[in-house]
């Protein structure tokens, strides 16, 4: 029997981090021919992940432009992928999550009548403009895909509520698979300021912020709140690897430059990021991925957004929604910095998003759906 041709398509940093262990798992299976196509919606931040995991894509669309718009990303991906599919015809395309690459990848495959599998399926806020455009991207991919790999049972229920009945699997999130290979007891950072930080004596606050719906006033309020927190807490060291988006760079530097205990640094590679997180006191972020990783490392998270599609860790008590309002962000950070009982209540490791075996389950499910094995995949129990 011919090998099953499976093509992974991804383009941004978070997709790459979460697809990398899946690419490795696909490569390990002898029933599968694994092909990888990157759109390079992100260039530097993608290449850093490819380097670390040792992935050399067969196709690279190299679409990134400075200050790119949603329309240019989507159209460049669609046109580029059409050519790729003319050259090779995969039996299955796997896309991840909710970016413009994800949506365009699923749509381009659908146009060629190629089966689509959606990794990290079923996350919803039910607010079409928040996160923007991710909520609509993942909803549309939910319609285009035939296979839905849901990290949690709640994600599966979201899809069932939308009428999806077939091809649903609860697998855990592949980011937890990635996390198991990166965090080390002894770690030397490339950025020397991170080697010099006093992780035991100081309270290191790890910050990231990049979401499009936060551009403008919400992001300005977030940055102003971060400046105030740093200035009123000399016992804290705020470390912020700033996303390369020009809108984010400008805002972060305008509010945070020149504050002694604020360190604005370049984006970290994923090993550095996970090791910094493991050594931090607190995480403040609007990132999706950090909301999943920090609870697994026992780090409290304040989410700099009004909603989250990841309620599991909020329910488990390690993540709180701080919102985008200056006063609310300051008072929630003050509480975690000043009140050790409040901090201890949040600082315990939970793993609602995975157990490190998501990729194995996803590939088992693919082989099962394509009739290459009679053994159904195991379900992640949470
Ligand atoms: C994208 C995703 C978002 C995801 C985020 C992860 C969409 C619409 N948005 O948002 O869902 O959470 O990635 O980080 O798909 N840039 C560089 N080098 C890089 C990466 C980015 O210079 O390696 C700059 C470029 O100027 C680019 C800009 O950042 O135009 C914005 O990148 P883009 O992918 O459009 O949006 P993100 O905010 O990164
Ligand atoms: N990350 C990283 N370096 C950084 C910031 C984030 O490696 O400087 C990792 C982080 O650990 C997580 C992923 O990138 O795995 C999250 O990406 P991002 O916040 O850009 O996107 P989101 O998850 O919000 O879509």
CA proximity to 145, closest of 171, 100, 109, 91? 109
Q: Per residue in 170-216, pLDDT tens?
A: 999 999 999 988 999 999 999 999 999 999 999 999 999 999 999 99
Active-site residue identified among 43, 124, 157, 212: 212
Distance CA 135, CA 128 (A): 6
Q: How far apart are the first and last CA of the chain?
A: 36
Average pLDDT over residues 136-154: 98
Residues of the chain with pLDDT > 90, as a percent, come to 97
Q: Per residue in 277-294, pLDDT tens?
A: 999 999 999 999 999 999
By most ligand atoms within 8 Å of CB, the mutation choice from 135, 245, 287, 296 for ligand 2 is 287
Average pLDDT over residues 340-364: 95
Q: Which atom of ligand 1 lies nearest, measured to the CA of 98?
A: 11
Measured in Å, residue 174 CA sits from the centre of ligand 2 at 14
Distance CA 379, CA 53 (A): 26
Distance CA 140, CA 33 (A): 27
CA proximity to 93, closest of 115, 64, 69? 115
Model confidence at 77: pLDDT above 90: yes
Residues of the chain with pLDDT > 70, as a percent, come to 100
Model confidence at 141: pLDDT above 90: yes
pLDDT at 67: 86
Q: Given pLDDT bands bounded at 50, 70 and 90, which one contains residue 366?
A: very high
Measured in Å, residue 14 CA sits from the centre of ligand 2 at 5
Q: Per residue in 40-70, pLDDT tens?
A: 999 999 999 999 999 999 999 999 999 899 9
Average pLDDT over residues 344-371: 96
Pocket of ligand 1 (CB under 6 A): 12-14, 41-45, 65-68, 70, 73, 98-100, 133-134, 210, 212, 244-246
Measured in Å, residue 55 CA sits from the centre of ligand 1 at 20
Measured in Å, residue 304 CA sits from the centre of ligand 1 at 18
Pocket of ligand 2 (CB under 6 A): 13-14, 17, 175, 208, 210, 241, 267-268, 270, 273, 287-290, 293
CA proximity to 156, closest of 133, 144, 173, 181? 173
Distance CA 162, CA 118 (A): 15
Average pLDDT over residues 306-315: 97
**If you search the block for the tokens 């190299």, which residue do you land on?**
62
pLDDT at 259: 98
Average pLDDT over residues 150-162: 98
CA proximity to 19, closest of 129, 348, 279, 27? 27
Measured in Å, residue 220 CA sits from the centre of ligand 1 at 19
Does the annotation count 42 as an active-site position?
Answer: no
In b/e form, how buried is each residue of 363-382, taking b as 16+ CB within 10 angstroms?
A: bbbbbebbebeeeebeebee
Q: Per residue in 8-37, pLDDT tens?
A: 999 999 999 999 999 999 999 999 999 999
Contact predicate 151/171, CB 8 Å:
yes
Average pLDDT over residues 246-275: 97
Model confidence at 306: pLDDT above 90: yes
pLDDT at 267: 97
CA proximity to 349, closest of 381, 316, 312, 315? 316
Q: Which atom of ligand 1 lies nearest, measured to the CA of 11?
A: 34
Model confidence at 382: pLDDT above 90: no
Average pLDDT over residues 122-145: 97
pLDDT at 349: 86
Does the annotation count 243 as an active-site position?
Answer: yes
Model confidence at 1: pLDDT above 90: no
Which ranges of the chain would DSSP assign to H, the alpha helix?
A: 13-28, 44-53, 70-87, 100-111, 134-144, 153-161, 174-182, 192-196, 217-232, 246-256, 270-279, 288-296, 312-316, 326-338, 340-346, 358-369
Whole-model pTM over 0.85: yes
- Note the Cα 316 to chain centre separation in Å: 20
Model confidence at 166: pLDDT above 90: yes
């Amino acid at each position: 029997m011919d090998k099953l041709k499976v093509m992974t398509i991804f383009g941004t940093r978070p997709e790459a981090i979460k697809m990398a262990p899946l690419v490795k798992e696909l490569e390990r299976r002898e029933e599968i021919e694994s092909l990888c196509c990157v759109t390079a919606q992100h260039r530097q931040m993608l290449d850093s992940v490819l380097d670390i995991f040792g992935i050399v894509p067969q196709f690279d669309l190299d679409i990134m432009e400075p200050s790119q718009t949603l329309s240019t990303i989507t159209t460049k991906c669609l046109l580029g992928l059409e050519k790729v599919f003319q050259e090779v015809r995969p039996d299955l395309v796997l896309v991840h999550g909710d970016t413009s690459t994800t949506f365009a990848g699923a749509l381009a495959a659908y146009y060629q009548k190629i089966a689509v599998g959606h990794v990290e399926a079923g996350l919803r806020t039910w607010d079409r403009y928040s996160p923007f455009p991710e909520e609509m991207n993942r909803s549309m991919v939910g319609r285009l895909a035939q296979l839905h790999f849901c990290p949690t049972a709640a994600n599966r229920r979201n899809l069932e509520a939308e009428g999806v009945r077939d091809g649903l699997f609860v697998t855990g999130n592949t980011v937890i698979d990635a996390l198991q290979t990166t965090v080390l007891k002894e770690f030397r950072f490339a950025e020397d300021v991170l080697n010099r930080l006093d992780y035991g004596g100081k309270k290191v606050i790890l910050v990231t912020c990049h979401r499009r719906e936060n551009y403008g006033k919400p992001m300005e309020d977030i940055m102003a709140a971060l400046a105030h927190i740093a200035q009123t807490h000399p016992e804290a060291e705020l470390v912020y690897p700033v996303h390369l988006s020009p809108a984010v760079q400008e805002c972060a530097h305008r509010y945070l430059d020149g504050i002694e205990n604020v360190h604005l640094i370049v984006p970290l590679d994923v090993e550095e990021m996970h090791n910094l997180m493991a050594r931090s006191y607190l995480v403040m972020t609007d990132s999706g991925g950090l909301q999943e990783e920090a609870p697994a490392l026992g780090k409290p998270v304040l989410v700099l957004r009004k909603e989250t599609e990841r309620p599991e860790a909020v329910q488990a008590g390690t993540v709180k929604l701080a919102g985008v309002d200056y006063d609310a962000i300051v008072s929630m950070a003050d509480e975690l910095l000043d009140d050790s009982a409040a901090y201890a209540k949040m600082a315990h490791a939970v793993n609602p998003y995975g157990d490190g075996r998501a990729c194995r389950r996803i590939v088992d499910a693919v082989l099962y759906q394509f009739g290459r094995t009679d053994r159904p995949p195991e379900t992640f129990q949470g």
